[in-house]
Structure 1
Amino acid sequence: MESSRRRFMKMAGIAAVGLSAQPVIKAVAAAPTNGTHSLQKGPKALIGSQWAMVIDTRRFKTERDVAPLIEACHKTHNVPHFSDRRHEIKWLWETHFHNAFPDIVNPHMSEEAEHRPYLVLCNHCENPPCVRACPTKATFKRQSDGIVVMDMHRCIGCRFCMAACPYGARSFNFRDPRQGLVEKEMNPQYPTRMKGVVEKCNFCSERLSEGLMPACVEASKGAIVFGDLRDPNSEVRRVLRENFTIRRKSGLGTEPCVYYIV
């Protein structure tokens, strides 16, 4: 009887904490973030209604081929580096075919294709489950160009978005990100983050607003094409018409906007 009473009191206490936190969450969620938020655009800003990316995996043979692209992304956005993998922060990284495309089963596929390094990142889905999961609207899809962005000032660290993302494309700052940066190599044009928030690839929205292509696209020397998926005359649409492409876990209905030429 006493143990049952203790369990009841414990659960009642947890429920009380949850109820007391609800007004705070609702207050933050009520702030005006309706998907129209955007950076101040410069006169040369690139305009698109649904940005998308096509990665030509045939251009990457070893990890050394993709390393400069990852470095360009992470240096541009002050992504910290921690030797302990439990604290790893990733915006762009490489993985094995079967990790990237677990739903595409082919026991007799080309060994060369199977063992290429596959770059993975946030897919900036047209139907992003992370957005629906976030209680504070810290992550939302911009209506203007389809980019799924993170407002890290609004993030409360609940990690619901991480649980909702089927691509593992989000990282949580268990440690102070600034401790994983070399000060002299920091990019003063991009803000650093704090401990306890989630972060991910933002399709280089800050570069697009200045008329620049994403850092990884620029470093890829043509192996990655970026453009407006809604424009039938865009380079992305031309590449998609001329090549066979696949997407990660497309059967989930998320409509990822990152395509892979294999």
Structure 2
Amino acid sequence: MKSDRRHFLKAAGVATIGVAAGATAAEANLLDSAKELLLGPKGAAPYPEAKKNARWAMVVDTRKLTPESMEKMIHACNHAHNIPLHPLRKKGDKYNKDEIKWIWEEEFENAFPGQMNEHLPPKVTQNEVLVLCNQCENPACVRVCPTKATFQREDGIVIMDFHRCIGCRFCMAACPYGSRSFNFKDPRIASLEINPEFPTRMKGVVEKCNFCAEQLDKGLQPHCVEACENGELVFGDMNDPESEIRKVLRNNYTIRRKPEVGTQPQVYYIV
């Protein structure tokens, strides 16, 4: 007991005052461990200092989407975030209430019900598009969450704290886009290949796309964007007028999902 107490006090002292001139290698390693606990792994940019002035958004170029490219992007997201793939309830079923969706394919008329008209070209209306959480500027889901399990970061990302979620599903009712999923079953299924760098969830909580906040805090692109090969997705900082996403938006006409509800989605679509 005394030995453990001495070790604890020694660790606290080293972490507080740093490595003195005569510090041993063991003490230096102890300090590194303390820093990693507080600031995250080496190479990870701690939030909010590194990203506090950003405002993240995404452009989906539907002209470049193919079934193969969408499947690749969805797989990259599922693998990175430990998203379970529950089998369909019956053979031939297209939808499954147990399905967990962060980014998925959707028919145009379902994704953009207010944009449908008889004069749209078939290449627009007959192809499926990628949909995800819109990371709204005015998120309805944040306003209704009673435990603040859903909250908005300074960079605009609407994110989930799985441990605070009580499963009330108010956020699901408030979201106009169907971008949230509820874990009716334990998501840690035996066949799932666990990615140890992202937390697993438990049964009874809600989850959704988080714009790969864990990637952004390291200075990296979202996993779905990294999986692109032909520029299907463009991601960037809306506060930077010279960013690639601002250039794309200046040069292309885009639409957003259900703009009439006033949430100001931060996912734009080139059609």
- Are 2:257 and 1:248 aligned? yes
One-letter identity of the residue aligned with 1:111: P
One-letter identity of the residue aligned with 2:110: N
Give CA-to-partner distance per residue, 1:127-153, whole Å, 9 cap, x none: 00000010010001012x110000010
Quick one: structure 1 residues 67 and 139, their matched pair in 2 at CA, closer, same or farther if it must change by over 3 Å? same
The equivalent of 1:66 in structure 2 is: 70
Q: 2:169 aligns with which of 143, 159, 178?
A: 159
Q: Output the CA distance in 1 between the equivalents of 2:125 and 2:215.
A: 33
CA drift at 1:43: 4.9
Give ranges in structure 2 of 5+ residues lacking alignment.
1-38, 89-95
Quick one: structure 1 residues 124 and 201, their matched pair in 2 at CA, closer, same or farther if it must change by over 3 Å? same
One-letter identity of the residue aligned with 1:171: S
**1:27-176 counterparts in 2 under 5 A?**
40=40, 43=43, 45=45, 47=51, 48-61=53-66, 63-84=67-88, 85-143=96-154, 145-176=155-186
Instruction: Please identify the structure whose Cα radius of gyration is greater.
Output: 2
CA drift at 1:50: 1.1
Q: TM-score, normalised by structure 1?
A: 0.80
Q: TM-score, normalised by structure 2?
A: 0.78
Give ranges in structure 1 of 5+ residues lacking alignment.
1-38
Give CA-to-partner distance per residue, 1:111-132, whole Å, 9 cap, x none: 1111222000000000000000
Q: CA RMSD in A?
A: 1.6
Q: Which has the higher helix share?
A: 1
CA drift at 1:96: 0.6
- Are 2:234 and 1:225 aligned? yes
Quick one: structure 1 residues 175 and 41, their matched pair in 2 at CA, closer, same or farther if it must change by over 3 Å? same
Give CA-to-partner distance per residue, 1:147-198, whole Å, 9 cap, x none: 000001000000000000000000000000012x524x22111111000000
Report which structure shows greater RCO (CA 8 Å, sep ≥6). Answer: 1
Count of aligned pairs: 220
Any idea what SS the aligned residue of 1:177 has? coil
CA drift at 1:65: 2.8
